[in-house]
Amino acid sequence: MELLDKLTILADAAKYDVACTSSGVNRAAVNGKLGSTTSAGICHTFSADGRCITLLKVLMSNACSYDCTYCVNRRSNDVPRATFTPRELAELTIGFYRRNYIEGLFLSSGVLRNPDYTTEQMCEAIRLLRDDYGFNGYIHAKAIPGTSEQLLTRLGVLVDRMSLNIELPSETSLRLLAPDKSGQSVLAPMRFVRDGIKENIQDKTTSIVKRARFAPAGQSTQMIVGASPESDFQILNLSASLYRTLELKRVFFSAYLPVNTDPLLPLVTKAPLLREHRLYQADWLMRFYHFDVNEIIDESNPFLDPLIDPKCNWALNHIDLFPAEINRVPYEMLLRIPGIGVKGAGRIVKARRERSLRFEDLKRLNVSTKRARYFITCNGSFAEGVLFDPASIYDNLADEARSRHCKGVLDGQLSLFEESAPVGLMSASAADSSAQRRELVPWIN
């Protein structure tokens, strides 16, 4: 088979994997070697769906011997199959990297024969890259559930980031939709990777022998949203505990896209993109804005509001803490103002030391007041025309969201929300979320 055909098959099979970041590790260039990494990562292009492409994202093989219901590559599907040789893959990566097409490689795979054999093939491709081609750029490998610890270690010291897909937000759903996997087959290697990364840190503090570092950019995971009945409340609680107990760097969400038809899968016609977007916003609040999951969502309202973002939602639920006086409130409170980001809050703190800030000054600081204006005062007064009343603020923010959707910024996403109350499997969902929450927490601890 031609390399071009292989690439087509194996990129197509990998495209549903969402994690495509090259961030988390700053490794300076080494003389005589090709490549460097920057901790913020660099997006090299954007595909037609608006997603950043930073890594060559492919599968080693899509000839999978498992049969996960939601996956295109399941063995019962009649699709063309292909497998890269380690050398083909290494050469392709180098060829792209030299031309500044990519930051590195994101390698995943279907289960070729068995997990260990698959991992050996992946290790060999990456070893070629590192040793034979002197490649010093970014590599993210997706570990295959069920791989032996010995092989995981071998893989871990070759790559920058490792991830395992937790796939679905509860073990019940996982068992139902991915019959060859179990919670343990995913969680055991995730724990193993966590411990490997921890050893790095200990090594560093005691500065013992320099050894190859295990996944220095940390671990991440991904789960499919909308293929199973869990609520946003459950999903966010699960990701909060993944951050806490497994010390993950990122939890990615992937809006469920119906690629197969199966009686076990919900009948949806469009991916729940807006829901995915809101989950990411909530995730962002937890990672960068010091929000606790309980502040974002609670059991009595287990789904995020599609019309306003979770930060606005929080602010409206805590309207007694507002308005926030820009010249006085502490940094932590600035971070809680809708529409003000980490950078903006930092600039405000800096600038207000020098002089007291007015609304027009915020523009100079490059701080947008589009949403913030409803929640702030400058020297005691509101922005012109702002009516400080929760109901009217909600309407204004929701109107703004609606008009944005009409303009196609979140094409088709809102209509989905309006047309579909959760279907099929999903309808059982919200009803018994507390029981499921109890089930879910021990699962990952």
Partner 1 sequence: MDKLSSNPLLTDARLTCLYDGSFEGLLSAVFWAFEHKEDPCDIAVETNLQYSLDQLFLPIDTDVEKAERVKAGIIRSLGYQAYKDVRCVFLSDDERKGRVILRFLQYSLKRGAGSRSDLAEPKIADFDDVLRKVNREIHYQLQFIRFSRLQNGVFFAKIHPKANVVPLIMGHFVARLNVQPFMIFDENHALTGVYDCKRWWLVAADTVSVPDATAEQDDYQALWQTFYDTIAIEERSNPTCRRNFMPKRFWGDLCEMVPQELRKSRPQTATPTACARLVGGQSRKSLRSPLN
List of residues contacting ligand SF4 (CB under 6 A): 64, 66, 68, 71, 73-74, 110-111, 178
DSSP 370-403: TTGGGTEEBTTBPPTT----HHHHHHHHHHHHHH
206 binds, among ligand SF4, partner 1, none (CB under 5 to 8 A by kind): none
Asked if 268 interacts with partner 1 (CB under 8 A), we say no
Binders in 14-33 for partner 1, by CB under 8 A: 14-16, 28-33
Asked if 158 and 127 count as a contact pair (C-beta separation under 8 A), the reply is yes
Interface residue with partner 1 among 76, 100, 207, 261 (CB under 8 A) is 100
Binders in 49-88 for partner 1, by CB under 8 A: 49-53, 56-57
Tokens of 30: 């080494």
Cα–Cα distance measured from residue 159 to residue 130, given in angstroms and rounded to the nearest whole number: 9
- SS3 at position 407: coil
Site size with partner 1, rule: CB under 8 A: 61
Which residues 6+ apart lie within 8 Å of 329 measured at CB?
none
364 binds, among ligand SF4, partner 1, none (CB under 5 to 8 A by kind): partner 1
Nearest-approach distance from CB 163 to ligand SF4, in angstroms? 13
Cα–Cα distance measured from residue 197 to residue 214, given in angstroms and rounded to the nearest whole number: 6
Of 96-104, 231-239, 381-389, 394-402, which segment contacts partner 1 by CB under 8 A?
Answer: 96-104
64 binds, among ligand SF4, partner 1, none (CB under 5 to 8 A by kind): ligand SF4
Binders in 221-260 for partner 1, by CB under 8 A: 255, 257
Interface residue with partner 1 among 191, 198, 290, 364 (CB under 8 A) is 364
Pairing of strands 52-53, 161-163: unpaired
Asked if 4 interacts with partner 1 (CB under 8 A), we say yes
Nearest-approach distance from CB 412 to partner 1, in angstroms? 9
Cα–Cα distance measured from residue 235 to residue 233, given in angstroms and rounded to the nearest whole number: 6
Which residues 6+ apart lie within 8 Å of 115 measured at CB?
144, 145, 146, 147, 148
257 binds, among ligand SF4, partner 1, none (CB under 5 to 8 A by kind): partner 1
99 binds, among partner 1, ligand SF4, none (CB under 5 to 8 A by kind): partner 1
Binders in 130-159 for partner 1, by CB under 8 A: 134, 137
DSSP 104-161: EEEEE---SSSHHHHHHHHHHHHHIIIIIS-B-SEEEEEPPTT--HHHHHHHHHH-SE
Cβ proximity to partner 1, 182 vs 327, nearer residue: 327
- SS3 at position 308: coil
Nearest-approach distance from CB 424 to ligand SF4, in angstroms? 21
Cα–Cα distance measured from residue 348 to residue 326, given in angstroms and rounded to the nearest whole number: 8
- Residue 93's nearest CA partner among 84, 85, 102 is 102
Cα–Cα distance measured from residue 98 to residue 328, given in angstroms and rounded to the nearest whole number: 51
110 binds, among partner 1, ligand SF4, none (CB under 5 to 8 A by kind): ligand SF4
Asked if 45 interacts with partner 1 (CB under 8 A), we say yes
Per residue, the 3-state secondary structure of 237-291, as one string, reads HHHHHHHHHCCCCEEEEEECCCCCCCCCCCCCCCCCHHHHHHHHHHHHHHHHCCC
210 binds, among ligand SF4, partner 1, none (CB under 5 to 8 A by kind): none
268 binds, among partner 1, ligand SF4, none (CB under 5 to 8 A by kind): none
Cα–Cα distance measured from residue 288 to residue 303, given in angstroms and rounded to the nearest whole number: 21
Cβ proximity to ligand SF4, 81 vs 371, nearer residue: 81
Chain residues that interact with partner 1, rule: CB under 8 A: 3-4, 7-8, 11-12, 14-16, 28-36, 42-53, 56-57, 92, 95-96, 98-101, 134, 137, 255, 257, 270-271, 273, 347, 350-351, 353-355, 357, 361, 364-366, 407-409, 411
